[in-house]
Structure 1
Amino acid sequence: MNSNSEIKNLLQKFVLNQCTPEETNEVIAYYKKNQLTDEFPTVEDIQNLLGEMPKMTEKTADDIFLNILSATKENQTTISIAPKKSNFKKYISIAASVVVLLGIGFAYQKGAFNTKSEPKFDFKSTDIVLQLENGNIQIISENNKVEVRDADGNIVGNQDGDKITYDNNSDLEKIAYNTIKIPYGKRFQLQLSDGTTVHLNSGTTLKYPVKFIPGENRQVFLDGEAFFDVAKDKKHPFIVNADNLNVRVLGTHFNVSNYAEDAATDVVLVEGSVGMYNVKEEFDANKNTVLKPGYKGSFNKQNNVIFTKPVITDIYTSWINGGLTFRNMTFKNIITKLERRYNVTIVNKNEKLANEKFNASFSDESIEKVMSYFNDIHGINYTIKNNQILIK
């Protein structure tokens, strides 16, 4: 593990019981090198947390930690395991981080996670993750109704189920960013401090200010797909950064799709107007592409060329209410969308299907019904087992 971000990523995977044997050995090697301290939780601590964060069985926790102990003893590393501490319980109540199981006190006091670099997020996890400005991680449960606090403990908003609403009356005087990461199979909503509502699709990351500061642009950073209902503010343009593309608005409804695997970033305008331009440029309404309602602008990621055409906007926004729509879409692209939507793995052994194009629309249907449709209408043979779909 050569960087703090790699360490953090592996510790998260370790707690979620997702490490390969090789990665587990890396975790062991890390603790052997740095030595465990009395802040490190015991196996009993881990077991007591299972009811709050049921990620691994008691036997698995026992086996892994005993493996660490035996491995370190073999190498004559001194280990100090303290009895359970009362202050460890406070981390249960906030469930602020999956790395709590490895001792937040140890990790942060030693400065292991003091880094601005982003750890790789596993979108096939089941957790919605909120990362604060200082790198602290909180797990968002869609069943919660709780206050949202910043790294200093100040209340900056409220979560009610599948939506977080940020407060414009907080005392923040400088930009502080939160980053929310939505795994496959889930959707979420944000109401930003200016009143803008953002619907986040599965497999999406959004970085945004906890509070917009007067005199500065309202800028957010998107990887994935989101629908924006932007609060009007003529003095403060709202800018969505999608890698090399900026989308600039004052107040409007539009959808941005910017998944890493897609060849283009698509912007679909429902109402109002938006400007599209390269991040290296300054916006100029006379030179840059300005979309009209009912149009889609596609930004080619290779040559930075923007192409526009009229579209039926409902096709691109039906996902907000659980819909799925495919129009003249290749089967390999359909597979990608299904994997994100349902958090499944699809293995296609019928290579002839990959580039065939299909049209289909679904409401909020299960993956079983979607696949049954493709079988009934197009004769696609498949099996489903343990969240894996094999197409024969």
Structure 2
Amino acid sequence: MNSNSEIKSLLQKFVLNQCTPEEVNEVVAYYKKNQLTDDFPTVEDIQNLLGEMPKMDKQTADDIFMNILSASKEEETIIELPERRSNFRKYISIAASVVVLLGIGFFYKQHVSNKVVEQKFDFKSSDIVLQLENGETQILSEHNSAQIKDSKGNIVGNQSGDKIAYESSLDPEKLVYNTIKIPYGKKFRLQLSDGTMVHLNAGTTLKYPVKFIAGENRQVFLDGEAFFDVAKDKKHPFIVNADELNVRVLGTHFNVSNYPEDAATDVVLVEGSVGMYQSNEEFDALKNTILKPGFKGSFNKENAKISTKAVITDIYTSWIDGGLTFRNMTFKNIITKLERRYNVTIVNKNEKLANEKFNASFKDESIDKVMSYFNDIHGINYTIKNDQILIK
């Protein structure tokens, strides 16, 4: 690396975690040799590169900060500043910035295989995306058949149309997760390795093990809505994590709705029994809420309280067959759900309408018929052009 442009390019790759092991060694060697010379990148250069770092969760950021502190203390014991340089403060800043860069880079290298940085998913795209444990992604078409492979090329499941069935014969030493992301306007099905069937609604993300392991709970992580037909296994409870709520079952049929716009996470039990409790707590059958068939449990996201009431379960599971139901729902939230269901964009210029609440149920209807209903019953004036709906 003889030119300034080469080290800048390599430093950028380092910050973005794109260096090979050999290139990482080059960066470290260059820093040790040239940390106080004029051709080292400026503080502004480094700050610009830092701005391109992927976002991390709080725990990762805390770990990195502690790592940097320990690295900085080690650096302080060996750096000697030239007294004759009048701009030595500049070089302190550069050295400190590079210590931060190296600290982040090394931490990222050490943890990238264990922790995948989640990329923001565009639910309004038309692609069903399957993400592997190492971050690699596969685009799925609900009209095709294909083999599902892991990062090493091993077959772990088979796709047939809108369903993936995972192999039950695999024998992994540790849990390996896949994450599937369902865009607006589509639905999908999964058969997990234990035989559990999962129906995934539009705008849903589910993280789940490729193969469950004996002796450990069968746990999956849900953002969105899914209907679970859980295979019975008394020795291995099945747990759905929906952010701050855990839903624990042994074998049953139930629906979980956990969309971000909703004030509550709803669990509707069709058959069997489920326990509801906060995700930071241990399950206690005597203290936690136990649902009976025909009941809905609602976890209030604001105060973490759980309430239950008897419901007609078909209303909450009709989406599997194309149905659509709104119960005491603001029109603002209805818009979000219509956008998700039909993959359209709705612009509402009637501000008074946003917070009004409605009750409505539809079978497998088109967006035109749904909007026509609101116009006929509630006098909502609208126009539809392509995938754009304007409410006046």
1:142 aligns with 2:142: yes
- Report the equivalent of 2:202: 202
- Report the equivalent of 1:276: 276
Letter in 1 for 2:318: S
Q: What is the deviation of 1:167? A: 0.7
Counterpart CA distance in 2 for 1:379 and 1:306 is 36
Equivalent residue runs for 1:50-61 within 5 Å = none
- Report the equivalent of 1:294: 294
Counterpart CA distance in 1 for 2:166 and 2:370 is 36
Say if 2:194 and 2:231, in contact at 8 Å, map to a contact too.
Answer: yes
Counterpart CA distance in 1 for 2:191 and 2:180 is 13
- Report the equivalent of 2:313: 313
Letter in 1 for 2:391: I
Q: What is the deviation of 1:332? A: 1.3
- Superposition RMSD in Å: 2.2
- Report the equivalent of 1:340: 340
CA displacement 1:245-288 (0-9 Å, x = unmatched): 10000000000011122211111111100000011111010000
- Report the equivalent of 1:186: 186
SS in 1 for 2:246: strand
Letter in 2 for 1:356: E
Say if 1:155 and 1:170, in contact at 8 Å, map to a contact too.
Answer: no
Identity of aligned residues (%): 80
Name whichever of 142-151 and 355-364 sits farther off: 355-364
- Report the equivalent of 2:361: 361
- Report the equivalent of 2:173: 173
Letter in 2 for 1:228: F
- Report the equivalent of 1:239: 239
SS in 1 for 2:207: strand
Letter in 2 for 1:294: G
Q: What is the deviation of 1:317? A: 0.6
1:328 aligns with 2:310: no
Aligned length: 290
Q: What is the deviation of 1:334? A: 1.1
Q: What is the deviation of 1:379? A: 1.6
Counterpart CA distance in 1 for 2:157 and 2:370 is 38
SS in 1 for 2:355: coil
Letter in 2 for 1:269: L
Using the size of structure 1 for normalisation, the TM-score is 0.71
How has the CA–CA distance of structure 1 residues 229 and 385 changed in structure 2, closer, same or farther, with 3 Å as cutoff?
Answer: same
Q: What is the deviation of 1:386? A: 3.0
CA displacement 1:108-127 (0-9 Å, x = unmatched): xx99x976110111111110
Q: What is the deviation of 1:295? A: 0.8
Q: What is the deviation of 1:4? A: 5.1
Q: What is the deviation of 1:133? A: 0.7
Q: What is the deviation of 1:327? A: 2.3
Say if 2:328 and 2:359, in contact at 8 Å, map to a contact too.
Answer: yes
- Report the equivalent of 2:97: none
Counterpart CA distance in 2 for 1:171 and 1:212 is 9
Q: What is the deviation of 1:377? A: 2.1
Counterpart CA distance in 1 for 2:274 and 2:138 is 33
Using the size of structure 2 for normalisation, the TM-score is 0.71
How has the CA–CA distance of structure 1 residues 342 and 214 changed in structure 2, closer, same or farther, with 3 Å as cutoff?
Answer: same
CA displacement 1:330-367 (0-9 Å, x = unmatched): 21121111011011111111122112222222111111
Letter in 2 for 1:207: K
Name whichever of 305-314 and 226-235 sits farther off: 305-314
CA displacement 1:280-339 (0-9 Å, x = unmatched): 111010000000111111111121111111111111110000101122222112111101
- Report the equivalent of 2:380: 380
- Report the equivalent of 1:14: none
Letter in 2 for 1:352: K
Q: What is the deviation of 1:146? A: 1.1
Say if 2:261 and 2:333, in contact at 8 Å, map to a contact too.
Answer: no
CA displacement 1:185-205 (0-9 Å, x = unmatched): 100000000000000000100
SS in 2 for 1:235: coil
Say if 1:148 and 1:159, in contact at 8 Å, map to a contact too.
Answer: yes
SS in 1 for 2:384: strand
Equivalent residue runs for 1:250-261 within 5 Å = 250-261=250-261
- Report the equivalent of 1:153: 153
- Structure 2 portions without partners, runs of 5+: 1-11, 18-47, 53-108
Say if 1:194 and 1:231, in contact at 8 Å, map to a contact too.
Answer: yes
Letter in 2 for 1:127: D
Say if 2:132 and 2:151, in contact at 8 Å, map to a contact too.
Answer: yes
Equivalent residue runs for 1:59-208 within 5 Å = 116-208=116-208
SS in 2 for 1:214: coil
Equivalent residue runs for 1:9-28 within 5 Å = none
Letter in 2 for 1:193: S
Runs of 4+ residues deviating >4 angstroms: 1-5
- Report the equivalent of 2:223: 223
Q: What is the deviation of 1:172? A: 2.1
- Report the equivalent of 2:285: 285
SS in 1 for 2:124: coil
SS in 2 for 1:234: coil
Counterpart CA distance in 2 for 1:281 and 1:359 is 35
